[in-house]
């Protein structure tokens, strides 16, 4: 570091203050309720080359610490003082990661030289396209996901470019909100610019320039320090989305983590081919794309919460992302619902690292709950009401020290619910239950955090429910070191009646008066053997209605009688259970659905599939994957060997069946 450490620490506080002030300014002046409710925005400062060196930690989304604006900065050949540029196109530089995210950046000049950029984004409620809010799993091309503005100056030398603005606003459903939010973004970068000028006045431009390099180096050094404490080795982990498209086949995200000294490599080979749906993650295959780094930032920060968060942290990592896959899709694959896949990816990264540090990291976080939207009619006024009622979240995985947090936590910590009383006052529905779902937390020495569940009754005909990002109704979160998987998520219509319906991963539903909807997230995974859990803790869970007496006995071997633990019966029960299920020494514990699935789709089969699909033109891969899955499904159990041979023979059948394909090979 060229700068002395005392000045660096002071400059660090000033840079953070600038980023936090930008965030507060944006939050305060944003127009849309969506921004205020979800805090789905960022602000930050980047180097002249585009590397983020300061981000806010109190407000805003947690996903963009490692953002690199280089591609979009360079897409514009000349900047004048007072210019502000913007883009929301995922395929113009891979800074924006789905079309609702409007990114802007403003150069900060000092004596004619650009000394840094002040940047930020807001998730707009709508940017036009095929569906309201611009996002749907049914979309398959980015063109359907709304207007795309490639890197363009929206403000030139302080003057708004009205023509571009008119084009943007003509293409969206609620133009006054987009314009209001854009104004808030402009206010935010102007605040940042002013703060940078103040810093330069205070510290001098040379110190400032050395300082921002020093801050990246400092974050990198801290991150390397954390990495060095992790044992070298190669750690593989994969997880699935239940479906790649509605009613489709599982979607796999696979990671080989290689830790070597103070750095690591993420190799995503083995992940699914790009999807003909909208859960693709647009990264451009960059070595350190921000979306790939979220899990890394969570892990490193959790190992040392004093870590200064900026893109220097990401220098410890390098990614290998095969072309044409879910982690590196080709234009024009739709990317709108990458939220779902990115969250699963975070879990995959946590799982890979947890093998390196099982005594320092948690089990699998809960997920699979949607953001619930209700569109219904107020019977008294006849007015249609559209409202987001709640994010359905679940807890954190059990960890080496204690149980996972209940209802939310880990990588869903930033979400906020809506009070039952506010929902009922604003939306004509009646809420019948909101709370924690009993027996949802994965059993463990330290139990996984519980899922939340919401049950409500519609009051009017033609009530439409959307449940964006539904998942985990099949494959669950995972436990570690003997800890068990969490529960599946649940989406039921009219539970407990003779017309009960399991809605699985459905995300759109039309119901009428008296219909009852029950929605619950998945639970989080447990840490450590549940038979080693303190029986008194199990009793407390039972008294807290978090664990049923049946589960206490079945999963924990704890026998409760007359409101207290029966020690002798418990000891006997635990001995029986131990004998029945000898530990297999496996690090992870998965739910029965995944175990059954992986009995068919073994590592060997996946290796073969990955290799074969990689040899195909990108636009054939998803199609061929589905044909192979159909063929394997149709295969009698005795002909499955799991060594890849059945995948190869299915592949050959597919190639034979489609001369259009064989002609290409």
Partner 1 sequence: MGYRVGVDIGGTFTDFCVFDEQTRDLHTLKVLSTPDRPGAEIIDGLTEIQRRYGVTPESVVYFTHGTTVGVNTVIQRRGVNLCLITTREFEDVLEVARLKMPDPYDLFSRRPTPLVPREKVFGVVERVLADGTVEHEVDEASVLAALDGIRAVGGEAVVIALLHSYRDPGNEQRVREILEREAPDLSILCSSAVWPVIREYERTVTSVVAGYVQPRVAGYLGSLQQALKSVGVPAEPMITKSNGGVMSAELGKTECVQMLLSGTASGVIGASHVARLTGSDNTMSFDVGGTSADVAIILDGQPQYGTGEMIGEFPIYVPTVSVTSIGEGGGSIAWVDRLGVLKVGPESAGSIPGPACYDRGGERPAITDAFVVCGFLGGAELGYSAVKMNASRAEIAIKTIADRLGLGSRETAEAIIRIAASGMYLEVSKLVSRYGVDPRDFSLLAFGGAGPMMACYLARELGISRIVVPLTPGVLSAFGGLIADVKNDFIKTVFTDVEPASAEALRANFRELEDKATHWLREQQGFTGEAQLLFSADMRYRGQSFEIETPLERAWIESGDTAAMAGAFHREHERVYEHADLDAPCQIINQRLVIVGDSPKPQVATIEQSGEPPTPLDRMPVYFDGQTHQASLYRRADLKAGQRFAGPAVILQDDCTTCVLGGFTGEVDPYGNLILTAES
Judged by beta carbon, residue 431 or residue 600, the one nearer partner 1 is: 431
Least Cα distance to 87 among 76, 79, 329, 333 occurs for: 76
Output phi, psi for 233, to 5 deg. Answer: 155, 175
Least distance from partner 1 to the Cβ atom of residue 455, Å: 8
Q: Is 499 left (phi over 0), alpha (psi -120 to 50) or beta?
A: alpha
Judged by beta carbon, residue 548 or residue 649, the one nearer partner 1 is: 548
Least distance from partner 1 to the Cβ atom of residue 517, Å: 15
Long-range contacts of 499-508 (CB under 8 A, 24+ apart): 504/470, 504/473, 504/474, 505/242, 505/243, 505/246, 505/470, 505/471, 505/473, 505/474, 506/467, 506/470, 507/137, 507/246, 507/370, 507/466, 507/467, 507/468, 507/469, 507/470, 508/464, 508/465, 508/466, 508/467
Least distance from partner 1 to the Cβ atom of residue 180, Å: 6
Least distance from partner 1 to the Cβ atom of residue 29, Å: 5
Length of the chain: 665
Whole-angstrom Cα distance, residue 621 to residue 632?
16
Least distance from partner 1 to the Cβ atom of residue 417, Å: 5
Q: Is 161 helix (H, G, I), strand (E, B) or coil?
A: coil
Judged by beta carbon, residue 25 or residue 144, the one nearer partner 1 is: 25
Least distance from partner 1 to the Cβ atom of residue 597, Å: 27
Whole-angstrom Cα distance, residue 179 to residue 158?
16
165 close to 186: Cβ distance less than 8 angstroms: no
Judged by beta carbon, residue 308 or residue 606, the one nearer partner 1 is: 308
How far lies 140's CA from each of 147, 246, 274, in Å?
15, 12, 10
Judged by beta carbon, residue 141 or residue 536, the one nearer partner 1 is: 536
Least Cα distance to 317 among 261, 265, 374 occurs for: 265
Least distance from partner 1 to the Cβ atom of residue 194, Å: 10
Whole-angstrom Cα distance, residue 257 to residue 230?
12
Judged by beta carbon, residue 28 or residue 657, the one nearer partner 1 is: 28
Judged by beta carbon, residue 409 or residue 530, the one nearer partner 1 is: 409
Least Cα distance to 393 among 373, 420, 415, 374 occurs for: 415
473 close to 591: Cβ distance less than 8 angstroms: no
How do beta strands 251-260 and 263-267 pair?
antiparallel
Least distance from partner 1 to the Cβ atom of residue 609, Å: 32
CA angle 253, 254, 259 (to 5 degrees): 135
**What is the token pair recorded at 482?**
């003997």
Judged by beta carbon, residue 546 or residue 559, the one nearer partner 1 is: 546
Three-class SS of 410-472:
HHHCCCCCCCHHHHHHHCCEEEEEEEECCCCCCCCCECCCCEEEEEEEECCCCEEEEEECCCC
Which DSSP state fits 141?
A: B
Judged by beta carbon, residue 93 or residue 442, the one nearer partner 1 is: 442
Judged by beta carbon, residue 430 or residue 657, the one nearer partner 1 is: 430
**What is the token pair recorded at 128?**
């036009």
Least distance from partner 1 to the Cβ atom of residue 310, Å: 12
How do beta strands 588-589 and 479-480 pair?
antiparallel
Judged by beta carbon, residue 72 or residue 108, the one nearer partner 1 is: 108
In the chain the first and final C-alpha atoms are separated, in Å, by 54
Least distance from partner 1 to the Cβ atom of residue 360, Å: 10
Least distance from partner 1 to the Cβ atom of residue 563, Å: 8
Judged by beta carbon, residue 51 or residue 451, the one nearer partner 1 is: 451
Least distance from partner 1 to the Cβ atom of residue 246, Å: 28
**What is the token pair recorded at 560?**
């409760």
Which DSSP state fits 144?
A: G
1 close to 218: Cβ distance less than 8 angstroms: yes
Q: How far is C-alpha 485 from the geometric centre of its chain's CA atoms?
A: 19
Judged by beta carbon, residue 497 or residue 543, the one nearer partner 1 is: 543
**What is the token pair recorded at 635?**
């295969």
**What is the token pair recorded at 255?**
């990671």
Least distance from partner 1 to the Cβ atom of residue 657, Å: 47
Least distance from partner 1 to the Cβ atom of residue 602, Å: 30
Judged by beta carbon, residue 59 or residue 340, the one nearer partner 1 is: 59
């Amino acid at each position: 570091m060229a700068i002395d450490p005392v000045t660096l620490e002071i400059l660090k506080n000033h840079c953070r203050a600038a980023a936090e002030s930008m965030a507060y300014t944006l939050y305060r002046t944003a127009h849309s309720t969506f921004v205020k409710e979800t805090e789905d925005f960022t602000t930050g400062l980047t180097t002249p080359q585009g590397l983020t060196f300061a981000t806010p930690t109190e407000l805003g989304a947690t996903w963009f610490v490692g953002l690199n604006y280089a591609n979009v900065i360079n897409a514009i050949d000349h900047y004048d003082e007072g210019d502000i540029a913007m883009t929301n196109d995922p395929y113009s530089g891979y800074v924006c990661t789905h079309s609702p995210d409007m990114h802007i950046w403003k150069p900060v000049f000092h004596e004619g030289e650009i000394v840094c950029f002040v940047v930020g984004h807001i998730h707009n409620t709508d940017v036009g396209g095929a569906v309201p809010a611009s996002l749907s799993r049914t979309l398959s091309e980015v063109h359907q996901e709304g207007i795309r503005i490639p890197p363009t100056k929206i403000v030139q030398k302080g003057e708004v470019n009205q023509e571009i603005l008119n084009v943007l606003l003509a293409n969206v459903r609620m133009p006054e909100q987009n314009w209001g939010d854009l104004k808030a973004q402009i206010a935010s970068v102007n605040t940042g610019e002013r703060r940078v000028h103040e810093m330069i006045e205070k510290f001098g431009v040379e110190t400032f320039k050395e300082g921002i390099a020093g801050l990246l180096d400092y974050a990198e050094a801290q991150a390397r320090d954390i990495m060095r404490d992790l044992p070298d080795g190669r750690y593989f982990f994969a997880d699935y989305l239940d479906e790649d498209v509605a009613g489709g086949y599982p979607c796999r995200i696979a990671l080989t983590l290689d830790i070597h000294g103070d750095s690591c490599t993420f190799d995503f080979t083995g992940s699914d081919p790009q999807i003909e749906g909208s859960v693709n993650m647009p990264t451009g295959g960059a070595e350190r794309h921000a979306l790939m780094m979220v899990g890394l930032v969570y892990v490193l920060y959790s190992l040392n919460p004093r870590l200064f968060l900026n893109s220097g942290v990401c220098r410890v990592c390098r990614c290998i992302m095969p072309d044409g896959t879910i982690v590196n899709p080709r234009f024009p694959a739709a990317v709108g619902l990458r939220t779902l896949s990115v969250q699963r990816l975070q879990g995959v990264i946590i799982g890979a690292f947890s093998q390196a540090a099982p005594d320092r990291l948690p089990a699998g976080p809960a997920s699979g709950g949607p953001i619930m939207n209700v569109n219904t009619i107020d019977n008294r006024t006849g007015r249609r009401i559209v409202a987001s009622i709640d994010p359905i979240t679940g807890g954190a995985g059990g960890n080496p020290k204690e149980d996972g947090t209940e209802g939310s936590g880990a990588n869903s910590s930033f979400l906020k619910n809506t009070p039952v009383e506010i929902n009922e006052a604003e939306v004509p529905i009646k809420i019948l239950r909101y709370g924690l779902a009993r027996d949802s937390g994965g059993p463990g020495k330290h139990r996984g955090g519980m899922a939340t569940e919401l049950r409500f009754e519609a009051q009017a005909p033609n009530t439409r429910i959307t449940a964006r990002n539904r998942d985990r109704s099949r494959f669950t979160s995972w436990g570690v070191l003997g800890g068990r998987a969490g529960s599946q998520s649940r989406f039921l219509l009219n539970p407990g009646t003779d017309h009960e319906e399991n809605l699985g991963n459905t995300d759109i539903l039309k119901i009428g008066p008296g219909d009852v909807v029950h929605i619950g997230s998945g639970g989080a995974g447990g840490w450590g053997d549940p038979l080693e859990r303190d029986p008194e803790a199990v009793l407390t869970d039972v008294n807290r209605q978090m664990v049923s007496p049946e589960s206490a006995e079945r999963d924990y071997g704890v026998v409760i009688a007359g409101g207290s633990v029966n020690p002798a019966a418990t000891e006997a029960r635990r001995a029986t259970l131990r004998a029945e299920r000898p530990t297999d020494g496996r690090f992870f514990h998965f739910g029965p659905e995944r175990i059954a699935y992986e009995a068919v789709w073994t590592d060997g089969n996946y290796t073969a599939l990955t290799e074969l699909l990689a040899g195909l033109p990108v636009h054939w891969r998803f199609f061929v994957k589905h044909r192979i899955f159909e063929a394997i499904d149709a295969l009698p159990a005795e002909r499955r060997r799991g060594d890849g041979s059945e995948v190869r023979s299915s592949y050959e059948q597919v190639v034979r069946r489609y001369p259009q394909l064989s002609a290409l090979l």
